[in-house]
Amino acid sequence: MNFKLTDEQRMWRNAVHDFCAEIVKPKAAEYDERAEIHQDAFEKMAALGLLGMNVPESYGGASVDAISGAIAIEELGWADGGTALSVAAHNSLGCGPIATYGTEEQKQRWLPGLAKSDPGLGALALTEPGAGSDLVGGIQTRAELDNGEWVINGNKAWITNASSASLIITLCRTDPKGGSGSLSLIVVPTDAPGMHIHPPEKKMGVRASPTHALTYENVRVPQDYLLGKVGEGLYQTLQNLDTARIGIGALSVGLARAAHEEAIRYAKERQSFGKPIAERQAIQWMIADAEVQIEAARLLVYRAAWLKQEGEFHNREAAVAKLFATEMAEDVARNAIQILGSYGYSREYPVERIYRDARLMTIGEGTSEVQRMVIARRVLGKE
């Protein structure tokens, strides 16, 4: 077993870290306050390869290994949870299904543009007003074939990057009889007539990541905009989520690391009863616990990423990493606020934003309860 990053992975981490420290982190509070995507940062990301991490080089991507992908998302999470969420969603949800399930023609049509965000990012629309955890039972968005085109009608909810996207991969019901083979993924350009993107949701955290409800009103796309075969949508979605969850785990490690650094800095400076609070055991224990939690989470994330890059099944390991890392981040951010006292509760310091951002991570891309269901099924041999 080798715990050492390769030279390439270390160089990649340094490059992404420097970019995040210079361009993303200094503006995190401003874009959170404005509740706007940090467009300037996105314009600079393509050159570094951050917008095509899982896109092969032959289609203009950076094609980094899965551990390097996790490293990049951790650095972005350290800098700004909202920006990191949009980058993670673009790569894993927007590019991932096309890179994995697309035909040669589909990859050539969409991937080079996505890797440059030209004309926009990618997004994935699974969730609906009445369907989140239960996609099979809940999805009502329908796609019907008519004259060689899919005609799509329905509503989606909570879709990351929708207003910045050139295309939205949409989970549709293609067989009204229902069941696990009744869903399909169809690529829908955002400029298709009948595609409505509603105003951004007003959110607690990840406010630099735009989230929107969508309405599809007789949206027509060519028949070959479907990914894979008709009825494979649920399988593709679940397999893709296994990989996407590694990214949310990595993002959570980055959030926790940022809160931890802030807590350490503050604990050394703040005096009470004649000593820095860092000299009090109560504070030291919170800092020591955070150190252990972050390290454990990162190792779980790296293990799941390593399995992914080895081509191994990683359903359980991705769920373990996501569950542990996301709950850990909330915990570490909570304690960082405690260490900063009233300043921790202030918008003048970053830990309250990190806490708000961390809160999303146990909900998006499968709630903690869903991760526990996945893990329990594997442990109890129910699948």
Ligand X SMILES: Cc1cc2nc3c(=O)[nH]c(=O)nc-3n(C[C@H](O)[C@H](O)[C@H](O)COP(=O)(O)OP(=O)(O)OC[C@H]3O[C@@H](n4cnc5c(N)ncnc54)[C@H](O)[C@@H]3O)c2cc1C
Instruction: Check if the beta carbon of residue 233 is closer than 8 Å to that of residue 183.
Output: yes
- Report which of 95, 83, 157, 88 is spatially closest to residue 122, judged by C-alpha positions: 95
Which residues are within 8 A (CB) of 146 and not within 5 positions of it... i.e. 6 or more apart? 220
Give the residue with the Cβ less far from ligand X, 106 or 211: 211
DSSP structure class, residue 352: H
CA-CA distance, 38 to 7, in Å (whole number)? 30
Query: Residue 1 Cβ, how far from ligand X at the closest point, in Å?
Result: 34
The whole-angstrom separation of Cα 49 and Cα 127 is 28
Q: Cβ closer to ligand X: 65 or 128?
A: 128
Residues forming contacts to ligand X in the complex (CB under 6 A) are: 89, 93, 123-127, 132-133, 158-160, 203, 206, 211, 360, 363-367, 369-370
**Closer residue to ligand X, CB minimum distance, 206 or 304:** 206
Residue with tokens 């616990």: 289
Q: How far is the CB of 37 from ligand X (least distance, A)?
A: 13
User: Which residues, in sequence order, are CB contacts of 125 under 8 Å at separation 6+?
Assistant: 156, 159, 162, 168, 169, 170, 171, 214
Closest CB 169 distance from ligand X, rounded Å: 10
CA distance 370 to 133: 7
Beta bridge partners of 155: 215
Q: Which residue is nearest to ligand X (CB)?
A: 132
CB of 372 to ligand X, least distance (A): 8
Backbone angles phi, psi at 156, to 5 degrees: -120, 160
Strands (E), the chain: 121-125, 142-146, 149-160, 165-173, 183-189, 195-197, 211-222, 271-272, 275-276
Interatomic CA distance for residues 303 and 339, integer angstroms = 31
In single-letter form, the type of residue at position 29 comes to A
CB of 165 to ligand X, least distance (A): 10
Name which of 106 and 209 has its Cβ closer to ligand X.
209
- Give the residue with the Cβ less far from ligand X, 60 or 81: 81
- Active site residue ranges: 365
In Å, how far are 149, 186, 316 from 220, measured between CA atoms? 6, 11, 38
| Residue number with CB closer to ligand X (151 or 363) | 363
- What are the DSSP calls for 268-284, one per residue? HH-EETTEEGGGSHHHH
CB 369, min distance to ligand X, A = 3
Q: Which of 151, 150, 125, 130 is nearest to 140 (CA)?
A: 130
> From the CB of 295, what's the least distance to ligand X, in Å?
27
Q: Is 194 left (phi over 0), alpha (psi -120 to 50) or beta?
A: left
Whichever of 260 and 359 has its CB closer to ligand X, that residue is: 359
What phi, psi does 24 have (nearest 5°)? -90, -55
Work out how close the CB of 267 gets to ligand X at its nearest, in angstroms, rounded to a whole number: 31
